[in-house]
Amino acid sequence: MFHNYRIEYDAYRSDLEILLQSPISQSNALADAQRAHDEHKVEFEKLRADVSVKLRFLNENRVKVSNFFMVSLIVLVIFSLVAKTF
């Protein structure tokens, strides 16, 4: 979804840049393109922030899970060493 919205936002941005570089003044088309670009930019920025938060949570969860498995492995090794001594 994010990737699709990024492509759509880039298309609106590209349309606006083309109209801004056009020597012929098309005020209605330029105003419509600017409005569409601004709307899609706001939505894209919101989605990008959401993805950033999700990636941060995913990374934090990865660290927690890795730590849990590392501690579990250490406990398992200690118990197996203790069991061999008896």
pLDDT string in tens for the chain (86-residue length):
778 878 888 888 898 888 888 777 677 888 888 999 999 999 999 999 999 999 999 999 999 999 999 999 999 999 998 888 76
Overall pTM > 0.85: no
Non-local (6+) Cβ contacts of 15 within 8 A are 33, 36, 37
Contact 37, 12 (CB under 8 A): yes
- DSSP code for 32: H
